Amino acid sequence: NAGVTQTPKFQVLKTGQSMTLQCAQDMNHNSMYWYRQDPGMGLRLIYYSASEGTTDKGEVPNGYNVSRLNKREFSLRLESAAPSQTSVYFCASRVGQPNTEAFFGQGTRLTVV
């Protein structure tokens, strides 16, 4: 059971470079999320997709774009990376019904130098 798979696990970028973080889930979930977690902190919502074909901004969307490619995949793009985007990024998915459990990937540790 793969659950939620994120790639890559680690990445170092130079300021101004772009990259896409990939996320795929095999649980047939409707809703998918991208969060960032800074050291010792909680999770801040970047973007989410309540269902295939929809995306909405979260608390900290600036500097990011997302694509809900299909029901399984939800990607996060950094167009021009900045040191302030150094963080651990988590993708999550859930059924989409109220009050259901969110399942998380293992995270992508991104460093922007």
Partner 1 sequence: TQLLEQSPQFLSIQEGENLTVYCNSSSVFSSLQWYRQEPGEGPVLLVTVVTGGEVKKLKRLTFQFGDARKDSSLHITAAQPGDTGLYLCAGHKAAGNKLTFGGGTRVLVKP
What gap in Å lies between CA 40 and CA 54, rounded to an integer? 31
Q: Residue 88 in contact with residue 108, Cβ under 8 Å?
A: yes
Which of 11, 22, 44, 63: binder of partner 1 (CB under 8 A)?
44
Q: Residue 91 in contact with residue 34, Cβ under 8 Å?
A: yes
Contact flag: residue 98 with partner 1 (CB under 8 A): yes
Query: Which residue, 17 or 37, is less far from partner 1 as judged by CB?
Result: 37
Q: What residues make contact with partner 1 under the rule CB under 8 A?
A: 4, 31, 33, 35, 40-45, 48, 50-51, 56, 58-59, 90, 92, 94, 96, 98-107
